[in-house]
Amino acid sequence: MTDDARMADIEAASGRLREFTGGVVPAAMVVLGSGLSGVADAMDVSGEMPFSDLPGFAASAVAGHAGRFVFGHIGTTPVLVMMGRLHLYEGHPVDQVVLPVRAAAVLGTKVLIATNAAGSVTADLHVGQTMLIADHINLLGVSPLTGPNLDALGTRFPPMSGAYSPRLNMLAVAAAEELGMDLAEGVYAAVPGPSYETMAEVRALRAMGADAVGMSTVPEVIAAVHAGMEVAGFSLIANVAADVGHGHADVLAAVGSGTPLLTSLLAAILGRL
């Protein structure tokens, strides 16, 4: 696909989002990971749209991902929520995975808040706890910036050392303190999946400096930073990585226990934007 065709896809998707929001530019886009759709309960919802209605996108096929966009307000803040996401392990190309983020950036949205369900690779994190992502390790083997640069979005070599916004992280820490929430902070490693990690892989991830591991988020973050968006990320710890016998149903059940506090945290942050 040519650069012009890629940008045409992004602009078409951005135009559809503009129609969906009634011309209102969302202050933030929130991407909700597995089982986290309850976060949208904190919103005053204006409208909903299935993923398949966004040009160039596709329906979500993963359990726990509702597969729709929700637009509304938290307080006075206009917010666009993705209830679920597309994953590389589903066979989607990375340009498609990050299409909504790029479309929101073209629309004028300045903030991305990305969430996921993740496995702990350190004893410091427990199931049901939320981890503020301080940094990430990209082990996906792919980047949305591969190929000719989309100059209309951003520079060829965007720095990633400050990918996760210090300002948003400070808002998160302050909000967590007000909520009496046990908010951890750590490094998220993104792996291709969809198989869970072996014990040897967990030891390797720990040695690399990771605190939690998952199968998403990093492509969206890279695309957002490239497009000049301010980013915050949160992992809800759903299992201890390499635990014998856990599956996706167990992950969703664990996420359900931690969602109410994460919902309150995100609402507090978004209300402060």
Given this model, what pLDDT does residue 37 score? 67
Beta strands, E only, 41-86: 44-50, 68-74, 77-83
Q: How many residues does the chain have?
A: 273
Return the DSSP state at 199: H
Given this model, what pLDDT does residue 38 score? 67
pLDDT mean by block of 10 residues, the chain; 273 residues: 85 97 96 73 89 89 71 92 93 96 98 94 90 98 95 96 96 95 96 91 95 96 98 92 54 64 89 84
Given this model, what pLDDT does residue 5 score? 86
Given this model, what pLDDT does residue 67 score? 85
Beta-strand relationship, 68-74 and 184-190: unpaired
Amino acid identity, position 156: R
Buried b (16+ CB within 10 A) or exposed e, 46-74: eebbebeebbbbbebebebbbbbbbbbbb
The residue among 203, 214, 209, 204 whose CA lies nearest residue 236 is 214
**Domain spans in the chain, listed from the N-terminal domain onward:** 3-271
Which residues carry out catalysis? 34, 65, 87, 89-90, 117, 215-216, 239, 248
The residue among 104, 138, 130 whose CA lies nearest residue 15 is 104
Residue 118, SS3 per DSSP: strand
Contact present, 187 and 134 (Cβ < 8 Å): yes
The residue among 234, 236, 239 whose CA lies nearest residue 251 is 239
Return the DSSP state at 148: S
Q: How far apart are CA 48 and CA 98, in angstroms?
A: 20
Pick the CATH number of 3-271 from 1.10.3720.10, 3.40.50.620, 3.40.50.300, 3.40.50.1580: 3.40.50.1580
Given this model, what pLDDT does residue 244 score? 47
Q: How far apart are CA 208 and CA 211, in angstroms?
A: 9
- Per the omega criterion (within 30 degrees of 0), is the bond before 194 cis? yes
- pTM of the complete model: 0.93
Q: How far apart are CA 16 and CA 164, in angstroms?
A: 28
